[in-house]
Structure formats: structure tokens, C-alpha cells
Structure 1
Amino acid sequence: MLASLLKAIIGNQAERGLSGIIAGIFTLVCMVFIDSPVVDGRTLLGGELLPWHITANTISASAETNVITAEGEVVVSKGEQTLRADRIVYNKESGLLSAEGNVDLLTAGDILRCDKGLFNLKDKTGYILNGSLFLRTNHFYVRGKEIRKTGPETYSIKGCKITSCDGEAPDWSITGSEVEVTLEGYGTVKHAAFFVRHIPLLYFPYIIFPAKTKRQTGVLVPSAGYSQRDGFEIEIPIFWAISDQTDATFYERYIEKRGLMQGLEFRYVTGVDSKGMFLFDILSDKKEQKDLYNEDDLKISPFPRTNQTRYWLRTRSDQQLPYDIGVKLDVDFVSDYDYLREFEEPSVGPEYMVRLDEEFGRPLGEAESPYRRSALLITRNFQDYSIQASSTYYEDPKRPQENTTPQPLADLGFTILPKRIYGLPFYFSLESGYGYIYRDTGPKGQRVALAPSLSYPIWSIPYVALEPSVTYFVTYQRLEEYQGYKGQQTKDAYELGLRLHTTIEKIFHIKQGNIKRLKHKFQPVLSYTLRPYPDEEEYTSWFEPVDVLDRLNVISLSLDNYLDARREDERGRPSFSQVARLRLTQGYDLDEARRETMPGEERKPFDPLQAALSLTPYPALDLSARADWDHYNHYISSGSVTLDLAVERGANKQDRYRIDYEYIRDYSKSLSYDAAINLLYGFSVGASGKRDLTIKYDIKNSYWIDYQSQCWGIRLLYENLESDKRIMFAFRLLGFGELGDLKVY
């Protein structure tokens, strides 16, 4: 544990470690005095004007001895680099520099203070007496009775003390009687100890650690907890900084009643649009199989489990290849249906789903999802057309041995964007594709589809556009032999469309906070779609998710309202954002309006009225809602509301609130919430949960309390799940344990 603390501090994951800062200090001193200082715009020793400046009460220079002496409030500066001392003596011939009396060296926010420093600028060695170093990047203090640079890449510190806590009596610190460091190599510590205040908790007589100036390998902060179902557990993450573009984190999670779960998270980045994240957990479960007669096991799910080796693999990857070829890879594969229900917080990253969503915009499926989806997509976009190749696999973890799910394992697509035909007023577009559908058990086969389309935009009157279109669908399907039957079939259909639309805009000059203008944009669209289909006797679909084209004879009206804001800061610099959007959509089925009815039966040509609202009046407030209104039963048939709110509390802190409400009439009604609230004196509390309002049952609830001091923090978490209750404990120290960012060159 103590070794990992030292690894984290002396270099470790932070971009500038102790080793790099010490090297920078000696380099800065060399740079300051290798060039001739400037006094009042002139160099001390003559020559060209150089950017280093020196001021002092008295400055003297001897041409015979090549010695420069500055005394009394000496300040040597260049940009963000400043050296202060009571007295500085520099011998240009020998290269010796001495600074003494209230010596301060500032560089990019880092501060070195010492009683005396002696540097040899020729062999770049030297020492500092009673030095204290503050590293701004990771808020570290390093103190040493004697800090020496003994060679080009070697350093030593005697009487070393390291902490991220302010004050003379830090809450925690690490000490060592003697530290030896070789940059880009290794370091050693003699008599290392970890202190809480003045109490030593850990001691090692000798430690070896890596001393890189970049992100480094080390043990991250462990966490521990207790589960009512699984007993005591502890997790220790180990970080491996492979390079600036790649890293990996290994998770060792011991669960008392289940065994050792091991996890891996691998990240890479090769360009702005090329990055990936691979995550994998595996467990050899002490509980060999599921007991369907056990009430607690049935709470997890009603499906059997006989496998002892349990795992979950998930991946998100975006890669740009030569010739503008883009590749996206999604993998989500689990050993059994119960895995995600039993281990809702797997060993790899408790915030993995949020991170995947933020990084790639493609979150993983919910734990309750009946299928896990994996897909590979390869695209090449040109100016007027695009080519796509994809492969998708749907895992059914409920029936791993007999998966009857149709699998579109191979898909090729070719798309031509709407393009004017040789000066004619017509626009042509095309959707086409080939697919191979596979099943472990069941029919499989191939499919070819073409859908060319013609449109003719007509400006009937000013500001109003009329656009008729026609699309022809043709699909050929070939079924491989299954249960003594194989065959082929072709279907075709056409679709006629007519679209009438316009855009109306108006700008309002207002003064509401930093909002100076509001633009209201109104876009009504009236459309008609007619699409007949063959009789059921002539066509039977063998792969339901593909090529099921229902007959359409529908008139639709949509009304889109947008409200965009122009904001200005104190300097008058503008920024633009959408503060509101309201969309109303209504469809009318002409076939249903003319359908023959039975006595007492009512025609229902009006589709549900669909409404969607999005409000973001302030960056800290986001509200979205949707609802479907049933005209005939006079109720909302389905709907949802999501509210995100952030409240600034000062000191770079925010209270965050989120509420999600989902409603499907006569089927489900649920409420989810998440809140994090900052209290006084460094305390904060939070809660999250999900409740099924239909059966009045709590699916999941969790509560936590957190304390964050200036240099350390602690969190206590309690979770009440469907099939388990557990309590977790995590401790953190400011300044280490962060993964850092991958670099793009």
C-alpha cells in the first residue's frame, strides 16, 4: 500500500511528477544564468538583448573573475519563471551559482523555497538545503533537508516528506530518510512511513518505485464493503501506464462467498476520432449453479444458471482508417442472464456506462434488457453517396444454448443522396443493401433490397415548398433449407409521397440576463403517404425485423417550434444555444376512415397525438418530455419526463438533481431519481433509486454520505437491490489515484 502511494505521488498518473519537477527546477536555474541577465533593458556583460531580467539593490560584475554578484531583494524573471533571493553569486567561468537567503523559485505555479542553493551549471548538478516544493498541478508539498542533483538524470532527497495537505501539521504524509531517483528509471526509499497526523500507520524499510516523468503504473485507491448475499468484499485497482496513448487498469475484487473476480479496462487513443475502450470481468463462482427452489435466487430471475465461469465483455471503439474509412465496434456479451442482476456494479469502473455514453455516445443496454447487442460498422462517405458494411449479433443470455434470434451477420449498403439529374428538376436517391440472416436454430438466408426514389421540389407560392416523391421497393429473399423446406420469393411495392412545408422566423430583441435576442422558428409540414403491399398469401416474412412494410394511406401534420437564444458575455462576445423545442405530430389513416365496420364498432382513423418538448433555458436546467394522447379513450397512452438540474454552490461545487418518469398505460409506470447535495464543512449526501409505481415496488435504492477535506476524502454507500443489500466504503487521498488523460499527437 505504501509503495503504491509513493508510485502515485512521485511521477505516477499525474502529468508532472516529483521527478519531473525536480528536473525542471535545476533546468530553470541553468537557463537563467547560462544567458546573460538583463538590467534595465541591457545585458550585464554586453551583447544582444535577451529575455531574462534581473533587479537587485546592488549588482556588480567583474570582467577579470567573470563573477556576477547581486545582493538585496534579488529578482530574476522571465515570463512565469521567477527566482528571488537575498544574494546570488554566479561564476561564469566555473559555472557555479549560489543563491541564499529567502530563496524562492516560481515556475508555472510551482514554488520552491529553501535556505540555500548551490548549482553547477556546467555538469548540471547541485543541492538545495532545507527545501520546500509546492506542485500546483496535483497540489503536492515536497520537503527535504537536502535535495541533490547528483548527475544528468539522478537525484537524492534526505529527510523527505510528501503530502497534499496544507499547513505545518498535515492530516497525512509520507516520509523517507533517503530517496534516490533516476529519471525514466527507478527510485528507492529508505525507511518509508505513512503518517496520519503524527501517528505512523505503515512502515517499510526499503521500497523500489518507477520514476517516470509521465503517467505511471501504480495501485489506485482500494474500496471495501459488505453484502448481505455475498459477504465481505474488497477491490484493489492496479493502473498500468503503457504509453501516452494507451493504458490499462486491472481490478482484483475478492467477494467472500463468490470468489475472486478479475477485471480489465483497456483504453487507447490514436487520433481525435480514433479511440477505444475494452472492459472485461471474469469470475469463477463458488456458487456453482442456481437453485430455482430458493426464494432469494428466484428474486434475481426465473431463468436457470448452471455455468460456474461467469464473465462480461463490453467494448466501444471508433477508428478512422486511411481513405476516410470509419469503423465503429460495439461488443456486449455476457455469460448468463443473471450476471448483470447479481453484479450490477462490476469490478471495472462503477461509472463505466456513463463514461461509455459520454465518450462514444453509445451507452450499453440496461441490465434488464433481454438481449445484448454487438455490432461492427464500416463506412465510407463520399460527397454524393456512401457505402456501409455491418455485422450485428444479438445474444439471448436467457437461452445461451438455443438462440433462435435472427442475426444479421452480414449487411452491405449503398446509399445515393438526393441529387439533381443532369439539370432536370428531378432529384434521385437510392437505398440499397444485401444481408445474410443467420440463426443458431431456425431458418436462415439472404436478402437483396433496392429502393430508388424520385422527388420534384415545387415552389408553388413564395415561402412555401411542395415536394411530390415516388419510391419503389423491391426485395429478393432466398431461404436456405430448413426442416425440408427451402425457397425464394420476391416482393415489390411503391410509395407515393407529397410534402408541403414552409419556415417562418422572427427575431425578438430582449434583455433577460445575458440573453439579448430570441429567434422563434416555426416549421409546419403537411404530408401524405400512400404505400400498398402484396396480399399476405403472396408474401410471408421469414425475418420479422427486416422488410416488414405495412400498408400506409396516411395524412400527417407536424408543427415544429424552435426558440434559439443569442447570449453575450461581459465583453459582448456572442454565443448561441437552443432554449426550447416543441413538436406536435398528428396522423390520419384514410384506410381506417373508410374501413367497413361491424355493428357497434367504431372507426379510429386518428393516430395518437404526439407531443415532444425540450427546454434548456439555462445551462444548468434541462427538461424534456413527450406524450401520446389517445383521442378515443381520452387519456395519455404513453409518456415520459426527464428533469436535470444543477445548482451552483460556490467553490466549484454543484448540487445535482435528476428525475425520470416513464409511463405506458395498463403496462408500466416507473420513477427514477438521482441527487447529490453539498452540505457544510465538506460533507455531501446523495441518493438514487428506481420504483415501479404500478406494483408499488422499489427496484433499487442507494444512499451515500461523503466527506471531503482539503487533502483526503471518504465515502460510505448503502444499496438496497432487488436481490441483495450491501454497504461499501471508499477512501481517497487528493493528488493520486487519477487515471489521467490519454494524449493525441
Structure 2
Amino acid sequence: MPLQKSPFFLFISLILAPGAYADTEKPRPCLTNLPKQEACGASNGADNRPASQYSQLDWFPYAPGTAPGICSGRYIEPASISSDEGTDILDQPIIINAEQGSSSLGQGTKLEGSVDIAQGNRRLQSESATYDQVTGQLELNGGASYREPGLLLRGETAVANTNTLETTLTGAQYVMHERQIRGDVERITRRQDESILIEKGSYTVCPPGDEAWKLQASEIILDKSSGFGLAKHAALRVADVPILYLPYFYFPIDDQRHTGFLYPSISMSNDDGASISTPYYLNLSPQMDDTIVPHYIEKRGFLLENEFRYMNQYTHNTLTTAFLPNDNLEDRDRWLFSFVQPGRWTDKLTSEINYIHVSDNDYLDDLSTLADIDGDSHLSRIGRVTYTEELWQADFLLQGYQTVDEDTDRPYQRLPELTFNGDTDNNERIMNAALIAQATNFYRNNSGFTGIERANGGRLHLEPEIYANFVKPWGYIKPSAKLWYSNYNLTDADDFDSNPSTSVPILSIDSGLVFERNTEFVGTTYKQTLEPRLYALYVPYEEQSGIPDFDTTEYNFNYQSLFRENRYSGYDHIGDTQQVSLGLTTRLFSDLGRETLSASIGQAYFYSDRKVTLDDDESNYSNGDSSDIATAINWRANKRLDLSIDANFDHSAFRNTENNLSLRYRADENRIFNMNYRYAEGIREQSTFGFMWPVDKNWSTLGVWQYDWFNKNDVDLAFGVEYESCCWQTRVIVRNWLKDDDDKDTALYVQFVLKGLGNLGSNGGSSLLEKITGFKQRDDNNETF
């Protein structure tokens, strides 16, 4: 009959057999009160898997040709023992199964032959065991194993306690299935708090039989609840060669954040010599962390950088600072300050702060940074508050710049700018009204400027509009009438009017038809459209010679510009024109509705000269009767290949004057090739090639070549190789690039990834490789780099 001991019950079922099993891996009897499919030895499902000498560690190889990745096998746990989910494990019965058993008063119970002890979802197995029902102490000999969901321990002997759930094995191996962690130990303890204490043991995520790397230590603690490991007196061994000794070493065993040193970053370059940084990460709270990066640069000195991040329900805040005292190459202090804060206060109210300042123009060329930089010539500084309703939006903006390229003009700052946009269009009304209202105060240091370029001051721009939408599946017509009004209050305008204004009406009609037919191309059926478009625009001429160019530049000419109402950006100048633009587009749609091809060609015809120019030079008046011919092609051959071309041709000789070509091929996230080519007659000719391509299962190549054909010079040239196995990865990149001062530099980046520990080396080559379209997406999806 059952023996009762509070607070749990003990059941013993003895199944007699002629002899004891010598190997616990041989078939064992079923636990009498469990379903056979859960309790029998075959329940681990290994019978249908390829044989493996490491199946005792739950490691099973994939059948030849079926591996989904670079690993040849995977850990598979056997079916779990049934457990009462709502009952504490200490209150659940202990079930013992053995071939022989005997009890002696005061000496506990001795068990022999295929001993199998289960309590809840925990299981102990051995060839012989002694159980003291009073103390709950279990001693197992003749080979012992302990199993619970996600954890397997196998050793020579084991001591366990059913009251504390603490279990210790000697001469053991362990496996943590989910994180693919394993190791060999002299002694291992699964403690009451579910942490693992390893004494004189190892840690690795390499599969059984692979000793590419491992961490050996006198003591290792693996804490699943906090998600980190602590190794004392640890030696990192690569190919069984010790390469690093650490008296104390913290490392993550899951994706949680942990305080501790991150891996050092090492690089070599001609300008800086050797450099090494050793980041230290502080996990201050779930909403707050800090990264301190001491960075030694051989030829420059000691750079200290810090990144502090704080998040609450409204904002994400990032503060980045850096300081390099007395740069040995520049003989001056170098520093950086950056603060970024996107905010969402309500569903309708958002904000943005993005401020950065560097000590000198060459800082970003000479020194790496943790800050997210936007811009090469000018570092933008923005403070913005936006309120959005269904039909209108209000925006308050403060925007400044730090110019870090001496060869470019200083842009105007907006201190401040208030913008209102309203539009009644909700896709149901035929007649609609819209309004743009903007008030801006522009300022810049005007030293070195003359004439109207010296002007600072305010601008009020109003743009009311009435328009109609007549839209049918077969076509559309959209007439519009609006008023362009800009008024200025200028200072430092020299001899120009300090209060100029522009008031111009804009009349336009945009219309188009859509014809459809079914067609066949290379054996595939498509739906083809033919879409003629006519756009008529009337903007009368008004003298604008005394108007500054606060935020105005001329748009590049392309197919879309044929249908713009203004050839200039911003609100300073409105280009006069009396024109009709004709365009023709054809599209191919697959049976699934996917647009495979679109091709467009168009030209504008003018009925008067265009007299408004940004430089007020009459020699630059546009007096032709027609524009250049603009074309645009987008071809999506399949999910992998994408080609786009924008090309312009001289209308008289049909000579190519400008084109932009982009070719992208992406078979998957590891097979990528892209090319970009930009050409403008007499102005520029530049190409960029980038690729990532595997050589075999483990090796991949990657590279970037950016070349300036106009100046016959390499802008950026890099080539690298990657190797990845099941438990480690490395990337080596050689780079030669042109800096802003027209000097070239060469660098070598080497990065190692020990999966389960982190990165070693420099990831400095990653920024340039983002020129490979799709590279960043791949790395964001890949936890190793």
C-alpha cells in the first residue's frame, strides 16, 4: 500500500525482472500511473530519428540534405512527464519505479535496477538508489541523470532532496536545450532557486563533438531567472587553446540586459594606428541604462564616450557624450554632445528633439561615435511639436545646423517655424478646400555674404486652394485653383526692399484615362494598362528678384516633375509657366494583382518663356518650347529582381543628359547584389556596387565599390569574408576610402562572434556595408553580429 508522508505522497511500484539493466539508456519499464506514450522509454521519439552517439544528450542529427541552417543537428527533449499545473511541485506525489526494492527500519529504501523517480515534471534515473523518506534524501549510483523541462544533467553519481528540490551530480554533463548550452563538469548542482552551480566545468553552445570554443572556470553560475552567467577564474579556449583569462566574467545566457563588460572592439588604420575600446554596460533599471566606452587610440590618445538611455511612457531619451583631451594628432581637445528624444504624449500630440554638436569639422571623419548622425555636411538640430486632427495638422519647429563642411554654404536656421495644414478631402466629396499657412523666422550668420544673400528675417506664406475630384475607374479629372502668397520682413537686406511680397494665382487641371486589356508575354498572362495623362498649368510671371532663397532650391528634372506646379522647393519662389504636360504610362499586372512592370514617357510644352530664376540672371531664362523627354521604368521581374531607371533625353537630338539606374537582386537575406549608377551631363558620374554572396554552407563574401567616374577616383572600396558555423562566426573586412579632406585612409576590421557569449573585435566595417541594400536588415535579423 502507498506510504504516506506529509506534505506529499510517495508511490513505489516494483516490477521484478530476471536481471538488472546495466545501461540506463536501454528500454525501461513504464511508470505504472502514467500513460504509456509518456512513460515508456520510446517516448523520446528517437526511434524515428537518425542514430547519434550524442542522443544521450538529446542531440539528434538532421537527415542528410534536410538541415534548415548551418547546424547539422538539434536538441530534442523527450515528451514531458504529466504534472498538476496548479499544484506546487513539493505537494505532488513521488513515483518510484525499479526492478527491485527493499526497506529497512531507519535505513530508508534501497532500489536496484533501472531506478526511475518522478515528481511532477522532474525525473531522476540511475541503476541503484537509496531513499530516506524522513529527510527526503536520495543517493543515486551506477550512472545518474536528472531531467526537467529545458534541463538535462547526466553524471556518475547524484544526490538529491525531494524536500528542497536541490540535486547534485558528479562527473557530469549538462544541457540547457532552449539556449543550446552544454558542458562537462566535475560537479554540478541544480539549486533550490533553479540556478545552476558548476564547479570545475565548462560552458559552450557548440554542438556535442565540436570544441571550437568553450569557457572553462573554477566556478560557473547560470541563473535562468536573471538570464546571465557568472564565471570565476575563467579561461576562454578557442580550438582548445587558451586565449583569454578573466578572474570574473559576466555573460548573457538569454536576451535580457545585464550589467557588465561588453566585448572589446579592435581595429587598425593608417591614420590612427591600433585602437581598442572596452565598453561597460550598466543596466540601471528596466527603463534606464548606460554604456561607458573607454577607447584608446594609439596615435591620438584616450577617448571616453558615454551613452545614457531613459524611456518612459511618453518619451525615449538618448544622451551621448564624448571627450578626447589634447588629441596628439590635432593638438586640441575633441568632444561630442548629442541628445535625441522622440515623444508621443497623446494619440494626437507628438514631439521630437534631436540635437548634436561636435568640437570641430573633422570630428566625425576622425573618430567613431555611438550617436546616430544625420547628415554629412550639416548636422541638423531639431525641436518639434506636432498636433494632428482628422482634417488638419499644426506643427511648431525649431531647426538649426552645425556646418562641418567648409566647402558648403551655411543653411538658414528656422527660429521658429509654425505650420498649419488643412484639407477637407476624405475621398467622398467632389469639391474640397485646402490651406497651407506657415510663419517662419530665418537666421544665419551672414558674414561673407553679399546682396540679398545677407538677408535674415521672417516670412509669412499662405496657400489657400479650392479643388475638385472627379474620379472613375476609367479615368479622372482634377481642376484646382489656388493663391500663392508670401510676405517678408527682412533685416540686413542691403539695398533691397525689406518688405517684399509675392502674390500669384495658380490654375491647374490634372486628368488621365485608364485603358485595360489582357495580354501574354513569354507564356505568362498579364493585365496591361495604358494610361495617358494630360496636365495643364498656368502660373503668371511676377518679379521676384528681391526675394531671398531661405529654403528654396530647384528640383531635379524627371518624369514626376512634369506634373509639379512649381519647379522650386520651399515657399520663396514660384516658377512662372504656361504649359501642358503629356505623359503615357503602361503597366503589367500579374494574375495576383502584383505590378510587374511600369514604363512612363512624357514631355512638357511651353507657351511662354519662364523668367523666374534663383540667381536673377536673364541669361538663364528658359525660352524653349518644350522640355527634355523624361522616362521612368520600374521592372519587378520576380520577388528577387528589381530594376528602376529614370532617364532624361535632349528633346532635339534625343541625347541622354541624365539618368539614375538602380538594380537590386535579393534571392534571400544572404544572397544580395545591388548596383546604383548616377549620371548628369557635365556634373557627375558615379556608381556603387555592393554584394553579399555565400560561397558554400559556411563561407560568404561581401563587398562595396563606390567609384567617381567624373574624377576617376575610388570613393569607397571594401571587401570582406564571413565564416559561420553552428557556434561561432567571424567577419574580416579591408577598407580603403576617401575622407572629406580628400585624403585616403585604409583600415582592417576583424570581428569574432562566439554565439552564446557575444562579439570580439571591431564592427567598424558595418556602417559602410549598409551601402549594400538589405545588409542592415539581415544584420538586424541576425543576433550574432
Relative to the length of structure 1, the TM-score reads 0.72
Equivalent in the alignment of 1:224: 266
Equivalent in the alignment of 1:309: 333
2: CA distance, partners of 1:199 / 1:32? 51
Give, in angstroms, the shift of residue 257 of structure 1: 1.5
Equivalent in the alignment of 2:414: 408
Contact 2:10–2:94 (8 Å) recurs in 1: no
Asked whether 1:639 is paired with 2:659, we answer yes
Give, in angstroms, the shift of residue 470 of structure 1: 0.5
Sort the Cα spacing of 1:37 and 1:430 in 2 relative to 1 into closer, same or farther, 3 A.
Answer: farther
Q: Name the amino acid aligned to 1:446.
A: G
Sort the Cα spacing of 1:210 and 1:500 in 2 relative to 1 into closer, same or farther, 3 A.
Answer: closer
Give, in angstroms, the shift of residue 530 of structure 1: 1.0
Sort the Cα spacing of 1:678 and 1:156 in 2 relative to 1 into closer, same or farther, 3 A.
Answer: same
Contact 2:379–2:403 (8 Å) recurs in 1: yes
Equivalent in the alignment of 1:728: 749
1:436 equivalent among 429, 438, 441? 441
**Residue pairs, 1:152-551, within 5 angstroms:** 152=193, 156-168=197-209, 170-179=211-220, 189-203=231-245, 206-207=247-248, 209=250, 214-265=256-307, 281-284=322-325, 286-287=327-328, 289=330, 308-312=332-336, 318-331=342-355, 333-343=357-367, 346-348=368-370, 364-365=374-375, 367=376, 370-398=377-405, 404-419=410-425, 426-441=431-446, 442-458=454-470, 463-480=474-491, 487-504=498-515, 520=528, 523-536=531-544, 540-541=547-548, 543=550, 545=552, 546-551=571-576
1:552 equivalent among 577, 582, 599? 577
**Residue pairs, 1:666-705, within 5 angstroms:** 666-680=682-696, 682-705=698-721
Q: Which has the higher strand share?
A: 1
1: CA distance, partners of 2:353 / 2:414? 15
Equivalent position SS for 2:710? coil
Asked whether 1:134 is paired with 2:193, we answer no
Asked whether 1:711 is paired with 2:727, we answer yes
Equivalent position SS for 2:658? strand
Equivalent in the alignment of 2:145: 103
Sort the Cα spacing of 1:191 and 1:541 in 2 relative to 1 into closer, same or farther, 3 A.
Answer: closer
Sort the Cα spacing of 1:83 and 1:679 in 2 relative to 1 into closer, same or farther, 3 A.
Answer: farther
Asked whether 1:143 is paired with 2:184, we answer yes
1: CA distance, partners of 2:514 / 2:415? 42
Give, in angstroms, the shift of residue 196 of structure 1: 3.3
2: CA distance, partners of 1:96 / 1:577? 68
1: CA distance, partners of 2:336 / 2:548? 34
Equivalent in the alignment of 1:39: 34
Asked whether 1:590 is paired with 2:590, we answer no
- Per-residue CA shift, 1:698-720, capped at 9, x if unaligned? 12212223433443344333222
2: CA distance, partners of 1:277 / 1:155? 36
Give, in angstroms, the shift of residue 188 of structure 1: 6.4
Q: Name the amino acid aligned to 1:409.
A: L
Contact 1:177–1:192 (8 Å) recurs in 2: yes
Sort the Cα spacing of 1:338 and 1:581 in 2 relative to 1 into closer, same or farther, 3 A.
Answer: farther
1: CA distance, partners of 2:186 / 2:522? 61
Give, in angstroms, the shift of residue 41 of structure 1: 9.8
Asked whether 1:605 is paired with 2:648, we answer no
Higher relative contact order (CA 8 A, sep 6+): 1
Give, in angstroms, the shift of residue 560 of structure 1: 4.3
Sort the Cα spacing of 1:640 and 1:399 in 2 relative to 1 into closer, same or farther, 3 A.
Answer: closer
2: CA distance, partners of 1:553 / 1:192? 79
Equivalent position SS for 2:424? strand
Give, in angstroms, the shift of residue 141 of structure 1: 1.8
Sort the Cα spacing of 1:484 and 1:496 in 2 relative to 1 into closer, same or farther, 3 A.
Answer: closer
- Per-residue CA shift, 1:456-513, capped at 9, x if unaligned? 3346x9833322210012222212466698832333111111121244556789999x
1: CA distance, partners of 2:584 / 2:635? 17
Contact 2:299–2:329 (8 Å) recurs in 1: no
Contact 2:340–2:355 (8 Å) recurs in 1: yes
Equivalent in the alignment of 1:9: none
2: CA distance, partners of 1:31 / 1:626? 78
1: CA distance, partners of 2:397 / 2:638? 40
Contact 1:129–1:146 (8 Å) recurs in 2: yes
- Per-residue CA shift, 1:346-403, capped at 9, x if unaligned? 253xxx8xxx7xxxxxx833x4xx3333333332222111122222223222459x98
Sort the Cα spacing of 1:53 and 1:434 in 2 relative to 1 into closer, same or farther, 3 A.
Answer: farther
Q: Name the amino acid aligned to 2:535.
A: S
Worse-superposed segment, 50-59 or 520-529: 50-59
Give, in angstroms, the shift of residue 676 of structure 1: 2.7
Equivalent position SS for 2:281? strand
Q: Name the amino acid aligned to 1:127.
A: T
> What RMSD, in angstroms, separates the aligned Cα atoms of the two structures?
5.0
1: CA distance, partners of 2:695 / 2:37? 57
Structure possessing the higher radius of gyration over alpha carbons:
2
Relative to the length of structure 2, the TM-score reads 0.69
Sort the Cα spacing of 1:152 and 1:716 in 2 relative to 1 into closer, same or farther, 3 A.
Answer: closer
- Per-residue CA shift, 1:305-336, capped at 9, x if unaligned? xx823345566654322242223444454443
Contact 2:415–2:441 (8 Å) recurs in 1: yes
1: CA distance, partners of 2:115 / 2:642? 55
Give, in angstroms, the shift of residue 449 of structure 1: 1.6
Q: Name the amino acid aligned to 2:747.
A: R
2: CA distance, partners of 1:189 / 1:602? 75
1: CA distance, partners of 2:444 / 2:332? 26
Sort the Cα spacing of 1:221 and 1:179 in 2 relative to 1 into closer, same or farther, 3 A.
Answer: closer
Equivalent position SS for 1:685? strand
Sort the Cα spacing of 1:135 and 1:467 in 2 relative to 1 into closer, same or farther, 3 A.
Answer: same
Q: Name the amino acid aligned to 1:427.
A: N
Contact 1:41–1:49 (8 Å) recurs in 2: no
Give, in angstroms, the shift of residue 669 of structure 1: 0.6
Give, in angstroms, the shift of residue 144 of structure 1: 2.5
Q: Name the amino acid aligned to 1:552.
A: T
Sort the Cα spacing of 1:403 and 1:326 in 2 relative to 1 into closer, same or farther, 3 A.
Answer: same
Sort the Cα spacing of 1:471 and 1:185 in 2 relative to 1 into closer, same or farther, 3 A.
Answer: closer
Contact 1:656–1:677 (8 Å) recurs in 2: yes
Contact 2:124–2:145 (8 Å) recurs in 1: yes
Sort the Cα spacing of 1:734 and 1:75 in 2 relative to 1 into closer, same or farther, 3 A.
Answer: same
Sort the Cα spacing of 1:704 and 1:227 in 2 relative to 1 into closer, same or farther, 3 A.
Answer: same
Q: Name the amino acid aligned to 2:344.
A: Q
Q: Percent identity?
A: 19
Give, in angstroms, the shift of residue 694 of structure 1: 1.8
Unaligned runs of 5+ in 2: 1-6, 12-30, 40-81, 447-453, 553-570, 613-617, 739-743, 760-778
Contact 2:318–2:341 (8 Å) recurs in 1: yes
